[in-house]
Structure 1
């Protein structure tokens, strides 16, 4: 009787050891992918179905062992739909990635100074992003208002998952811009020549397009504010270019400066009716808190920087130095 008991006990111990070893082997067994591989888990996919899909691809040898592990740890069966990057780590590690919803992340960047047309062209080409944009009702779709969308998308990098919508990305950019503008407007200077946050956004977009050097944004802002305060026209080329639109061929002609458009600041007084680009936070801060200066004029030196002047005489000298002499 004792021998039988010992034999049963020994068999139980051996079975336990073998079972434990099998369990450990299953838990640590790698997923048989040669390189990191994208795999989409469809909505409603169950644990057994996923396992069979991987087995059919030759990524694991059989499913029953993992079904046993799932019985011991039911949380493994909670699969979240999405696109995942599978690796040669263990099968269980890859399944837990799906349990957590740790999907592949893609990104879309709105660049400082891009205009709306350029942003829309880029986002419609973005990988793994559904284009649900309604071109005939874009402002209502993104801003939930009929305000023109230009200027309202904050320049930044936005991450998204497979099959997210383009509108969801742009809505996040719009919310961020609204918050940045609101915060900046609350901290604005008292003597600005514009009385709404939207007009500050318009000014910020012009500052953004005029500056090749970020460090010059405040001085550009100061010069523009000084012009507005003295009833001088802004006379800035980027607004003219925006008014020409897609027909702009890269060269502003005398005719372009004479032709009337709502954006030709050589012809109109004050600000154009809308922003002309997506301004950075730095440009917005410059627009709402420009430094005090006597500068009214500036001319490009050709290296991204500008020569600032307080009088027309100084400006004409700078134009002769940096523009006319270079053409001769």
Structure 2
């Protein structure tokens, strides 16, 4: 009797040891991928179904050890639909990632100085974005350009697969609303800007006029001085925006004579809408311009500008830098 009892105990220990070994092997079984993989899990996908698919791809060798693990931990079978970024590791870790809904985050960047056409074009090319919007579409019965031009804060936004384009744009829109409201409260009240939207319009022009961050307050001062004096802004980026997608990169005298709502060589004051997505620094420059006596500036060709107080001084600078560019070309 004692021998029988000892035999049963020894057999149980052997089986327990073997089971523990098999369990450890299952937990450590790799998912056989050499680099990260994006995997889409459709709604309703079952644990066994997905394991068989991976087995056919030779990502896992056997499914039964994983099925045993799923019996011990039923949460593994609750697979969440979505797109996941799998990395080399264990098959158990991959299933756990999917059961926990740890979806891959895609990113979309709105670049400062881009206009709405450019933003929409890049968003339409982004991965896993549903219902991409096109120029001319409407959003809640409002034309897209009226709704979003200049009103999307330049930043990187993260999204999960199959989010609608509108959801991504609204995050950028809400962030711009928040930033603009905060910055408007910091305004120099001596500026001629009547409201935050005018600040947004001016900031978009500043953004397009210079890529040198330190110049933005001076650029702003020129425009503010001109507005205060009733002078036209005479800024090329607004003319180019008014031409639209037909602009071929060469601004001509005919363009400057053309009457459009955005031709600031022909109209007084600000154009009717922003012309690009301004950065926070451009917004701050619009509401806190430098104090200066400058009314003119001309590009030097290196990204910076020469500022002038008088027209004659400005004309000399134009001849100097335009001739230099002509000779260099």
Short-chain TM bin: over 0.9
Deviation by residue 1:238-259 (Cα, 9 ceiling, x = unmatched): 1111111112121121111111
Q: For 1:82-231, list aligned pairs within 5 A.
A: 82-133=82-133, 136-140=136-140, 147-231=146-230
In terms of mean alpha carbon deviation, does 309-318 or 284-293 score higher?
A: 309-318
For the residue of structure 2 that corresponds to 1:269, the secondary structure is: coil
Per the alignment, residue 281 of structure 1 pairs with 280
1:32 deviates by 2.2
For the residue of structure 1 that corresponds to 2:30, the secondary structure is: coil
Deviation by residue 1:257-296 (Cα, 9 ceiling, x = unmatched): 1111111111111000000111111101111111211111
Are residues 1:72 and 2:72 paired? Answer: yes
How far apart in 2 are the matches of 1:136 and 1:326? 38
Deviation by residue 1:165-217 (Cα, 9 ceiling, x = unmatched): 22221111111111111111111111121111111100000000001312111
How far apart in 2 are the matches of 1:258 and 1:202? 22
1:218 deviates by 0.9
How far apart in 2 are the matches of 1:230 and 1:219? 17
TM-score by length of 1: 0.94
Decide whether the 8 Å contact of 1:139 with 1:146 is kept in 2. Answer: no
TM-score by length of 2: 0.93
How far apart in 2 are the matches of 1:91 and 1:118? 41
For the residue of structure 2 that corresponds to 1:270, the secondary structure is: coil
Decide whether the 8 Å contact of 2:298 with 2:306 is kept in 1. Answer: yes
1:56 deviates by 2.6
How far apart in 1 are the matches of 2:173 and 2:14? 65
Are residues 1:26 and 2:57 paired? Answer: no
Decide whether the 8 Å contact of 2:136 with 2:144 is kept in 1. Answer: no
Q: Residues 184 and 318 (structure 1 numbering): CA distance in 2 closer, same or farther, change over 3 Å?
A: same
Decide whether the 8 Å contact of 1:148 with 1:274 is kept in 2. Answer: no
Decide whether the 8 Å contact of 2:137 with 2:143 is kept in 1. Answer: no
CA RMSD of aligned residues (A): 2.0
In terms of mean alpha carbon deviation, does 275-284 or 313-322 score higher?
A: 313-322
1:65 deviates by 1.6
Per the alignment, residue 321 of structure 2 pairs with 322
How far apart in 1 are the matches of 2:309 and 2:57? 73
Per the alignment, residue 58 of structure 2 pairs with 58
Per the alignment, residue 307 of structure 2 pairs with 308
How far apart in 1 are the matches of 2:127 and 2:259? 40
Deviation by residue 1:278-326 (Cα, 9 ceiling, x = unmatched): 1111101111111211111111111110011122222122112212454
How far apart in 1 are the matches of 2:134 and 2:209? 31
1:226 deviates by 0.8
How far apart in 2 are the matches of 1:79 and 1:21? 27
How far apart in 2 are the matches of 1:292 and 1:92? 64
How far apart in 1 are the matches of 2:20 and 2:186? 65
How far apart in 1 are the matches of 2:35 and 2:284? 47
Deviation by residue 1:102-143 (Cα, 9 ceiling, x = unmatched): 2233222211111111111111122222234375543437x8
How far apart in 1 are the matches of 2:100 and 2:304? 50
Decide whether the 8 Å contact of 1:138 with 1:149 is kept in 2. Answer: no
Q: Residues 45 and 32 (structure 1 numbering): CA distance in 2 closer, same or farther, change over 3 Å?
A: same
